[in-house]
Structure 1
Amino acid sequence: MRRITPKVAALVAIAMLALTAPAQAQRAAAPEAYFEFTDSTRERAVLKLTDPAKIQHARELVTGITNDRPHILGRIVKRPAPYNPRWSYHYNPETVDFFDFAIEVCDASIPYVEDHLDEAGGAFLPGLIWCPWSSRLVREIPVP
């Protein structure tokens, strides 16, 4: 019986590791947070953040802890994202950042980008960089 107990304990330990490894790997993976934002048109869109520092900054903006760098900028991708289905484009999560002031060439409203998406990346939104000057986060939303 003494020989069986260590073997059973070893099997239980292996089984526990197998069950907890995916959960640990998931926690170790990049975090995700989703935020709804708006602009002067009052239209709304959703962006995804994966950088922990940017997620924290976004949460502080939404809760009013800070008003530093309140506007959103980043590179857009010309296709819909599952979390932002209303629009034919979305921010590339790895490029999203926040700003106080930006150059005019990247400023456009949410619907204007939609209406002129075929022109984006040329003279309109060079490099697909979008920085709507009137953008602001509205709220954090649950993971879609």
Structure 2
Amino acid sequence: MTQSYASTVIAAGAERVWEVVRDFDGLPTWHPGIASSEIEQGRGAAEVGCVRHLTLPDGGSIRERLLTLDDVERSYTYEILRAPFPVRRYRATIRVAPVTETGRAFVEWYAHYDAEAADEAELDETFASGVFASGLRGLSEYLAG
């Protein structure tokens, strides 16, 4: 199983960051790589089991299911149902924690997945840099206002 990981410190409090991140349908608000999002079948974005359909700027799409939503730990975990990536059993988590010394927020985003060995390095670059790190930069910029 392969892991991809990115993290950052954001100049906003953990509660404020979680308020933005928590919206499972809200990625287009702050992630530069997501053009639109729609929760399927009229379910709520905070409803475990809901499926979001993400549209990418190039017209590609990804379907993901919310597996857990934890307001105490300020995290959620989701799985990919369909995507243009050659992965199996992909599960990702985004988590927000307070940096108590500064009042800022520590945000980490990571995934575990199976892939062919020949694809692992490219997939890690795609997820760690292209999805997670770019998303965290977008989140930081969105919250900076």
TM bucket normalised to smaller: under 0.3
Q: Which has the higher helix share?
A: 1
Normalised by the length of structure 1, the TM-score is 0.27
Normalised by the length of structure 2, the TM-score is 0.27
